[in-house]
């Protein structure tokens, strides 16, 4: 029977999570050469190839994918055993900015608890500036915040993109001040938004003041006002309104980790549990009633929209799209040529996962801005977060149950240049292009 080396297994999990030998080495406080040796030793011990590595790609082999969850369980059991030798509970205070915290938080807390069950986790939610002050004063051990203009320290966890959001029926009349929902005066994102409005000569007035981003999201969902949100955390029932109202673009930021941990291994352990924070957010996932293949009608801002149910081949992943499909597209980038999908573009708020979010496997390549999701059971591509418009998803039209692809025109797009890094990627999708002729 093979005996597993804990460090080697931890190295494998880090490489699998981060899809990079370089980033895994940084997170573990090691070198690429050292972690390559540990991985090779583990593969030799198991007699299996776990990681496939090419000059452009690091991915799990079939054996590696099967071993990943048992490897996590193995590390969690080891960490619990070590923690059990320490009778006294330790306290770990973590601050999470309200404009950052989202669906990743439960997974984050679960990973921290699995790593050290004897840890008492204290979480503080506040604006980034308030948490930064608390961290500098030694009141919290770590903070996950948005990058502040005057700070260059911290480890980058993920890029963050923003947009202006309101309900579909929200009305803003030309010449009137833009109605804003805001939280505290210390909220950095809204301060950036106000400066952008001032620079564009757009008057604004605050019609709602709430305690935290959650209250602001409720006000925007209720149709009271417009506000700025991350594309990961759009309030339910809202749409991006930048183009509609001629609002200025909000510059992107970064989610960063600040930590007081000085010991390299502890810092690396924390980082590996957080490094993917915010970068793999899925659309809204809700347990909802099944509608079969029938099309339903929903009202949105006085306009009827069609609900299209969809699924992968095995039926494990079920989703629905609430939209009017007016155009389908193909793409000639190096990935789409191989998967040969016909896609429809929809706002993130229009896509809901009905069930099977745990079966979705993420594939990223090149710049890693676009996020392509496949069913890990049957392998079918279902949808992807768009690189050029990160608040929109491309949905595989062949996965829409009962949808007649022949009823809508298909437009080829020339996106082969998507294989090249584009620093001017659009903040939002400008809408379907109309072919003339």
Residue pLDDT, tens place only, 363-390: 877 766 678 999 989 999 999 988 776 6
- Counting residues of the chain whose pLDDT is more than 70, the rounded percentage is 75
Q: Where is average pLDDT lowest: 87-91, 94-98, 355-359, 425-429?
A: 425-429
In terms of phi and psi (left: phi > 0; alpha: psi -120 to 50; beta: otherwise), the region of 252 is beta
Confidence of residue 151 (pLDDT cuts 50, 70, 90): low
Architecture of the domain whose range is 162-251: 3-Layer(aba) Sandwich (3.40)
CATH code 3.40.50.10540 for 90-160+254-274: no
Pick the CATH number of 6-82 from 3.40.50.2300, 2.60.120.10, 2.40.50.140, 1.10.10.10: 1.10.10.10
Where do the structural domains in the chain lie, given as residue ranges? 6-82, 90-160+254-274, 162-251, 284-419
* CATH fold of the domain at 284-419: 2.170.150
Residue pLDDT, tens place only, 270-307: 655 555 555 445 555 443 333 333 344 444 444 567 88
Q: Enumerate the β-bridge partners of residue 411.
A: 329
**366: Cα separation from own chain's centroid:** 17
The whole-number pLDDT of residue 271 equals: 58
- CA torsion sign for 293, 295, 298, 301 is positive
DSSP secondary-structure letter at 141? S
This prediction's pTM: 0.52
CA distance 63 to 45: 14
Q: Do domains 90-160+254-274 and 162-251 have the same CATH topology?
A: yes
């Amino acid at each position: 029977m093979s005996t597993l080396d804990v460090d080697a297994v931890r190295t494998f999990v880090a490489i699998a999570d981060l899809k990079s030998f370089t980033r895994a080495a940084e997170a573990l406080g090691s070198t690429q050469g050292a972690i390559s040796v540990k991985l090779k030793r583990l593969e030799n011990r198991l007699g299996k190839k776990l990681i496939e590595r090419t000059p452009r790609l690091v991915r799990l082999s079939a054996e590696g994918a099967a071993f990943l969850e048992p490897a996590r369980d193995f590390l969690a059991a080891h960490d619990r055993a070590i923690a059990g030798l320490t009778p006294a509970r330790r306290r770990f205070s973590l601050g999470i900015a309200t404009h950052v915290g989202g669906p990743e938080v439960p997974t984050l807390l679960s990973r921290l608890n699995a790593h050290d069950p004897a840890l008492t986790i204290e979480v503080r939610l506040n604006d980034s500036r308030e948490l930064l002050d608390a961290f500098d004063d030694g009141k919290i051990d770590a903070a996950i915040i948005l990058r502040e203009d005057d700070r260059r320290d911290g480890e980058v966890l993920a890029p963050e993109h923003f947009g202006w959001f309101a309900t579909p029926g929200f009305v803003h009349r030309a010449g009137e001040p833009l109605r804003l929902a805001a939280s505290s005066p210390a909220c950095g994102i809204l301060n950036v938004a106000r400066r952008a409005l001032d620079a564009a000569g757009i008057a604004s007035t605050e019609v709602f003041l709430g305690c935290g981003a959650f209250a602001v999201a409720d006000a925007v969902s209720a149709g009271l006002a417009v506000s700025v949100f991350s594309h990961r955390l759009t309030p339910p029932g809202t749409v991006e309104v930048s183009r509609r109202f001629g609002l200025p673009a909000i510059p992107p930021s970064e989610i960063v980790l600040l930590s007081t941990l000085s010991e390299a291994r502890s810092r690396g352990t924390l980082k590996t549990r957080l490094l993917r924070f915010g970068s793999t957010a899925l659309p809204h996932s809700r347990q909802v009633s099944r509608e079969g293949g029938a099309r339903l009608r929903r009202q949105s801002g006085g306009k009827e929209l069609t609900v299209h149910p969809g699924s992968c081949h095995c039926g494990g992943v079920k989703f629905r799209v609430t939209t009017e499909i007016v155009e389908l597209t193909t793409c000639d980038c190096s990935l789409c040529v191989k998967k040969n999908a016909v896609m429809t573009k929809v706002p993130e708020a229009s896509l809901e996962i009905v069930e099977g979010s745990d079966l979705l496997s993420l594939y990223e390549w090149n710049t890693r801005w676009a996020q392509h999701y496949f069913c890990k059971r049957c392998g079918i591509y279902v949808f992807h977060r768009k690189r050029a418009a990160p608040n929109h998803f491309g949905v595989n039209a062949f996965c829409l149950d009962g949808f007649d692809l022949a009823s809508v025109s298909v437009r080829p797009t020339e996106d082969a240049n998507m294989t090249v890094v584009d620093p001017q990627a659009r903040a939002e999708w400008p809408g379907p292009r109309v072919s003339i002729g």
